[in-house]
Amino acid sequence: LLIPSSSRASSYRFASSERRKISKVLVANRGEISIRVFRACSELGIRSVAVYSEQDKMHMFRQKADESYLIGAGLEPVAAYLNIPEIIHVAKNNGVDAIHPGYGFLSERSDFAEACERAGIKLIGPRSKTVKQMGDKVAARQAAIAAGVPVVPGTENPITTVAEAKEFVAQHGLPVIFKAAFGGGGRGMRVVRDPDELEENFQRATSEALAAFGNGSMFLEKFIERPRHIEVQILGDSAGNVVHLYERDCSVQRRHQKVVELAPAPRLPVEVRDRITTDAVNLMKYVQYENAGTVEFLLDDKGNHHFIEVNARLQVEHTVTEEVTGIDLVQAQIKIAEGQTLPELGLNQNNIELRGAAIQCRVTTEDPALNFQPDSGRLEVFRSGEGMGIRLDGAATFAGAIISPYYDSLLCKIIAHSHDLPAASAKMSRALREFRVRGVKTNIPFLLNVLDHEKFQDGTIDTYFIDENPSLFQ
């Protein structure tokens, strides 16, 4: 255990052994992912605790926990969920053993992981040193190289001058992409195709990264044309065992952000899948990864894969992996945090199997006709698509719910599972057509256009798909 000596007394319970029974979990998040974790806790007989901001006082997610506590009084809506001392305080005052960070907010903050460790509260996620290493994309690339995993050609260290960028371009050619070392969520990236635009983009990317992530550190990568985004779900335990749960294809992206995700990746040759999953496992073994994580790759049009980053947390799209493997990832996370090993959980690589295909659509309260401008207000009508093979992970999904303008615009995730991709796709379209949402605009018409598109149905999409098909917006 990584507990500093100064806090040994408070963490006495845990310090003697890696084993601990978790009996009360706080979710340091909001909305659908909080409910997702509360459900897993409930099924495991674990008490659940919600924290909520003033703006979320009436939000349904807090009712789904056994207990809930207001945080961030007087703070801005997002800042409430980033207030580490207060969240730790609520946890300690209420007998919480473990905190689940969800995704976004504090989930990739190593100072939060450290604060939990200091307080003797188990973070349901990787160790703080791993969160730190993977949160820095330059350090993550270095780990991948050391583990023998192919990376996109890029600068070895952060670059601080335009001269370094020019030198990289002289060696590797254009196009290139500037990336924020501490970036995420598709932000802080700039593609450069013209040598005259290098300097301006470098300055802009640096100041954007500084504003968005509090750190302007930049690196350069060769920009890969027409890649597919393929990522591998991993579970690791405290004993050093690592397994993969196959891959997801997240190539349907708008502005580098995922919209529709699939498991498994369509038309992926078996030998390519083997190479990618083996490399993902090797990297996570190398960094002694504990808990759930994802290794992301770009697959170029020649079938070569290149590491881009590790997400050291549960991902929005974990659901499709759950559907095709039958493994509840959140429950697995909790049991791993209790110190159970993968073999004890029956998770051996040779018995993790793929069954059929699954698709997830992110339904957002955004208007596709108005360049995806977020919409908010009261849901006057809400009827969802249901039936065999359809799963809904949401929060404010009922008539009368108020969609707040303060947080991200995800309304719910719809997941379809069937024996193959066309069957899952037919189920998804059918379910989306059953939806009736009034009062707030959604991207459902856009999602239907994606599913109906022949390239999607053929399984031949790359990350350019949305940009190249303006008809999807109609």
Is 221 known to sit in a ligand binding site? yes
Pair 450, 386: CB distance under 8 Å: no
The verdict on 143 binding ligand ADP (CB under 6 A) reads: no
Candidate list 47, 190, 228, 313, residue with the active-site label: 313
Q: Which of 221, 247, 261, 317 binds ligand ADP (CB under 6 A)?
A: 221
Residues contacting ligand ADP: total by CB under 6 A: 20
| Site track 188-217 with ligand ADP (rule: CB under 6 A), x = hit | -x----------------------------
**Stretch touching ligand ADP by CB under 6 A, among 73-81, 127-135, 218-226, 411-419:** 218-226
The verdict on 317 binding ligand ADP (CB under 6 A) reads: no
Does the active-site annotation cover 313? yes
Is 323 known to sit in a ligand binding site? no
| Site track 168-187 with ligand ADP (rule: CB under 6 A), x = hit | ---------x-----xxxxx
How far apart CA 433 and CA 473 sit, in angstroms, is 17
Q: Which of 256, 275, 391, 455 binds ligand ADP (CB under 6 A)?
A: 256
- Shortest reach from residue 301's CB to ligand ADP, in Å: 12
- Shortest reach from residue 320's CB to ligand ADP, in Å: 16
Q: Which of 309, 338, 375, 393 binds ligand ADP (CB under 6 A)?
A: 309
The verdict on 232 binding ligand ADP (CB under 6 A) reads: no
Is 296 known to sit in a ligand binding site? no
The verdict on 249 binding ligand ADP (CB under 6 A) reads: no
Which residues are annotated binding-site positions for ATP? 137, 221, 256
- For the annotated catalytic residues, the residue numbers are 313
Which residues make up the interface to ligand ADP (CB under 6 A)? 152, 177, 183-187, 189, 221, 223-224, 227, 229, 253, 256, 296, 298, 308-309, 463
